Structure 1
Amino acid sequence: MTDVRDELQARRLDAVRAWTRFVELGDDAEAAVRPEIRRSWELSGSAITYDVAEAPLDDEGDTAAYWLDTPLAVAVGNVESELRRTAEDGDLVIAVTDAETRILWTYGGRVMRRKAESVNFVPGGRWDESSVGTNALAITNRTGDPSMVFSAEHYASMVHNWVCWAAPLHDPVSGEQIGVIDLSTTWDRTHPIGLATARVMARLIETAMPRTRQWADASRAPVPPDEPGLTLSLLGTAEAWLDGQRLLLNRRQTEILALLTMHPEGLSVEQLHAAVYGDQAVTLSTLKAEVSHLRAALGGALASRPYRLMLPVRTDVDEVLALLRRGAVRAAVSAYRGDLLPGTNAPALVELAEFLAVSVREALLARPDPAAVLRYSELAPYDVQVLEVALAALGPRDHPAKPLLKGRLAVAHR
């Protein structure tokens, strides 16, 4: 036992030395750490400082609502006794995340539970590299491969006393990676079977997951919101809701509403006319009549001179753009339900539709996440380049999405 402890002490010391060289002295530490750790350190260093004290927290209610609407919640509920027993026997904290490395569920042994709470390793905690730096959850979610991070291999010093093992979780129907499971404990309890245990726990959860399409496709259909204000869905099928109630609008009214959400500062009647009709021979009075109907539908919350909306607004277009800015490609593709107002001839909306479509595609070419590419291929089944780039990025390694990507590619080549 002493020999094992000495080996772990020496390994920890090596990790601390390499971390110090990289983080504090600016040395690349190339020969001192595994390539996946060094790559993760580089990503982390461009986003955070090493002295971050805790993970940022998402809203507790939003996280809980999201969790209950996922197949992972069903699966974990089915095998929770096994997960809890594993955590208690090994004094581990076990976590399940979503595809963006937000923790959705945890259970911990007595000691690790307190340690986890102190750094927000709890539901709602964001453990991606841009939030807390190198850790096994983030590496696995980014690469799709099982991973281990030991002691000072973590970028943030707050978890230098930890060791973490993570494995990906896949939807059994689509093959999409929808999160990870992570097992964490203190570095001195490192065990050779830690990574194998994470893989076993992942398979246990995947086996317990519901095997119906409703889970895989649920995020594609607009859901009536329960928040006040205006919610506008423009991607794929257009829908508008005011304070949770669906608005019955015609095509032009929806286009006008979309344009006003793009211009919160307001538009003059001439500017709005050009954005909607371009050089078509349509009178200003026609536009004013549409605006009048729209104002009535909005309960008067549409000002004039200039035309502008006078209430809180949320759109799926803004959601996709915000996710792309964060680099959350998989989530952005999931939120991108199709072309913006397909068939619109409003010049400003045609331009926005092209900008959004190209942005999503370029994001996939830069970061060809297999699950995201599969979702995208449902919308653009003949985009051969995106499929080829995703398969090239996977290389020879096995991945549940690879047969599906090859199938999509074969169909696209027909």
Structure 2
Amino acid sequence: MSTAQDARERREELVRARGRLVHEPPGTGRGAVPVRDVIRASWTRSLRSVDDDLAAAPLADESATAATWDASPLRRAVDVLGDELRRVADDGDLVVAVTDPAARILWTCGGRVMRDRAARVNFVAGGRWDESSVGTNALDLALRVRAPATVWAAEHYAPAVQGWVCWAAPVLDPTGLPLGVLDLSTTWERSHPLGMTTARALAALLTREVAASAAARPVASGPRALHLDLLGTCRCVLDGEHLRLTRRQLEVLALLALSPGGLSADALHDALYGDAPVSRSTLKAEVSHLRTLLRGGVGSRPYRLLLPVSTDVELVRRRLAAHDAAGAVEAWGGAVLGGVGGTDSPTLRRLEAELAAGVRAAVLSAGERTTALRYGQLRDADPLVVGDLLGRRDGSDHGAPTNLRPTPRP
């Protein structure tokens, strides 16, 4: 922008152009001001999913965001470069943000003025700045085009941030996939020609630090192996190291572990989300982050695990097949992902019903009081089964009671 007056006029033109898109029928609006193709396309998508009066970004679950940040390679990089990022924020009165691959903010720091403005629109840790949540913005755009992106003033779709200018650049893992973006934001009046140059440089420093950290990580000797406990208490162990995963990451990992032949993108999306309106890009971001956590252990086309994996689900199935009721009870543990609040995946819910019914039937068939008592100690056990077996006078009747029904899940 050549002068402050030129910038002000350009912003007003963009406000009018966006207003025509939102409020006028298609095909009207002669003499519309030029709008970048990438911005116009984003406005059109945003029109279908974002309220025109959106005041702030939605916030993701706080504990899930914290767990993702704790497990992310970006955290180690930010720990190393944090002083530099804070200096940039303070000197330029900017807000600096680092996101995950789905444009959810994981970490921020800011100068005094911008820190307050950022809090008002949820430009904070947990803020969801994907296009479908808040409309056109630089964080999502940089991830979408996999290149640095600027969104200036009223190029933003949401009026709440049309007074901002944002510069974002992807931060990459050692395989070249985006871990998220580094974003610098301030008011449009403070727009500076070096804003994008600075964002690029800081993103490059973070990318370099991620690579250095990965190279310094000791490589396990012998074959790599992954173990998952999915029933009741949840646990993911890679080469003896416990990984902290979010519930969604555990769901993706469980579906891949239970599909050794792999799953297409569409099949994995259906298995994970069912009919929920979740974009394919959200799934790609989840898989990308999981691939990083597993150190490249997830393949694509189809999505599949590239390392040996064992699960407690397999163990329960083997013991049921061997008619080992006591062993099946010990291996079962309860609901799928019960330790993190259960699962929304339709495929995993069907798996949960299958295993619960199988263990229930095995306990009834065995008719053993000791097995029934152990089964009754489990959180998701069916109390009718335990009551029936412990109420018998002898062990001759091993048939299931006719009034037996599954216990409703709390």
Which TM-score band (shorter chain)?
0.5 to 0.7
| Amino acid aligned to 1:11 | R
Question: C-alpha distance in 1, partners of 2:375/2:41?
Answer: 53
Asked if the contact 2:13–2:33 (Cα under 8 Å) also holds between the matched residues in 1, the reply is: no
Match of 2:350 in 1: 262
SS in 2 for 1:208: helix
Residue among 188, 210, 214 paired with 1:211: 214
Asked if the contact 2:153–2:164 (Cα under 8 Å) also holds between the matched residues in 1, the reply is: yes
Shift of 1:62: 2.5
Shift of 1:99: 0.5
Asked if the contact 1:295–1:302 (Cα under 8 Å) also holds between the matched residues in 2, the reply is: no
Question: C-alpha distance in 1, partners of 2:231/2:201?
Answer: 39
Match of 1:23 in 2: 22
Match of 1:249 in 2: 316
SS in 2 for 1:40: helix
Question: C-alpha distance in 1, partners of 2:367/2:155?
Answer: 59
Match of 1:239 in 2: 311
- Structure 2 counterparts to residues 130-169 of structure 1, below 5 A: 130-169=132-171
Match of 1:170 in 2: 172
The one-character-per-residue Cα deviations of 1:222-278 (angstroms, maximum 9, x if unpaired) are: 66689879998453245349xxxxx963436489987893188x68x9xx78xx9xx
Question: C-alpha distance in 2, partners of 1:198/1:216?
Answer: 32
Asked if the contact 1:57–1:125 (Cα under 8 Å) also holds between the matched residues in 2, the reply is: yes
SS in 1 for 2:96: strand
Shift of 1:82: 1.2
The structure-2 alpha-carbon separation of the partners of 1:234 and 1:164, relative to structure 1 and needing over 3 Å to count, comes to closer
Shift of 1:211: 2.1
Asked if the contact 1:260–1:309 (Cα under 8 Å) also holds between the matched residues in 2, the reply is: no
Shift of 1:79: 1.0
Match of 2:94 in 1: 92
- Structure 2 counterparts to residues 1-400 of structure 1, below 5 A: 4-27=3-26, 32-171=34-173, 173-209=174-210, 210-212=213-215, 221=226, 233=254, 235-236=256-257, 237=309, 239-240=311-312, 249-251=316-318, 253=320, 261-262=349-350, 289=365, 296=374, 299-300=377-378, 301-303=380-382, 308=406, 311=409
Shift of 1:140: 1.1
Asked if the contact 2:154–2:163 (Cα under 8 Å) also holds between the matched residues in 1, the reply is: yes
Identity across the alignment (%): 40
Query: What is the TM-score of this pair, normalised by structure 2?
Result: 0.60
Asked if the contact 2:170–2:178 (Cα under 8 Å) also holds between the matched residues in 1, the reply is: yes
SS in 1 for 2:102: coil
| Amino acid aligned to 1:42 | T
Gaps of 5+ in 2: 236-249, 258-308, 321-327, 337-346, 386-402
| Amino acid aligned to 2:69 | W
Asked if the contact 2:255–2:348 (Cα under 8 Å) also holds between the matched residues in 1, the reply is: no
| Amino acid aligned to 1:239 | T
Asked if the contact 2:228–2:311 (Cα under 8 Å) also holds between the matched residues in 1, the reply is: no
Match of 1:318 in 2: none
The structure-2 alpha-carbon separation of the partners of 1:285 and 1:161, relative to structure 1 and needing over 3 Å to count, comes to closer
SS in 2 for 1:22: helix
Question: C-alpha distance in 1, partners of 2:373/2:216?
Answer: 39
Asked if the contact 1:261–1:309 (Cα under 8 Å) also holds between the matched residues in 2, the reply is: no
Question: C-alpha distance in 2, partners of 1:119/1:162?
Answer: 11
The structure-2 alpha-carbon separation of the partners of 1:72 and 1:150, relative to structure 1 and needing over 3 Å to count, comes to same
| Amino acid aligned to 2:72 | T
The one-character-per-residue Cα deviations of 1:39-59 (angstroms, maximum 9, x if unpaired) are: 111221111112111111122
SS in 2 for 1:50: coil
Question: C-alpha distance in 2, partners of 1:205/1:194?
Answer: 17
The structure-2 alpha-carbon separation of the partners of 1:52 and 1:223, relative to structure 1 and needing over 3 Å to count, comes to farther
Asked if the contact 2:14–2:33 (Cα under 8 Å) also holds between the matched residues in 1, the reply is: no
| Amino acid aligned to 2:377 | G
The structure-2 alpha-carbon separation of the partners of 1:31 and 1:221, relative to structure 1 and needing over 3 Å to count, comes to farther
SS in 2 for 1:149: strand
The structure-2 alpha-carbon separation of the partners of 1:79 and 1:302, relative to structure 1 and needing over 3 Å to count, comes to same
Gaps of 5+ in 1: 242-246, 277-283, 313-414
Asked if the contact 1:92–1:109 (Cα under 8 Å) also holds between the matched residues in 2, the reply is: yes
SS in 2 for 1:100: coil
| Amino acid aligned to 2:39 | I
Question: C-alpha distance in 1, partners of 2:81/2:114?
Answer: 21
The structure-2 alpha-carbon separation of the partners of 1:187 and 1:298, relative to structure 1 and needing over 3 Å to count, comes to farther
The one-character-per-residue Cα deviations of 1:54-90 (angstroms, maximum 9, x if unpaired) are: 1111222321222121110111111111111111111
Shift of 1:290: 8.1
| Amino acid aligned to 2:35 | V
Question: C-alpha distance in 1, partners of 2:106/2:348?
Answer: 36
Question: C-alpha distance in 2, partners of 1:123/1:298?
Answer: 42
| Amino acid aligned to 1:211 | A
Q: What is the aligned residue count?
A: 291
The one-character-per-residue Cα deviations of 1:117-176 (angstroms, maximum 9, x if unpaired) are: 0010000110001111110001111221211111111111100110111111101x2211
The structure-2 alpha-carbon separation of the partners of 1:127 and 1:285, relative to structure 1 and needing over 3 Å to count, comes to closer
Query: What is the TM-score of this pair, normalised by structure 1?
Result: 0.60
The structure-2 alpha-carbon separation of the partners of 1:133 and 1:26, relative to structure 1 and needing over 3 Å to count, comes to farther
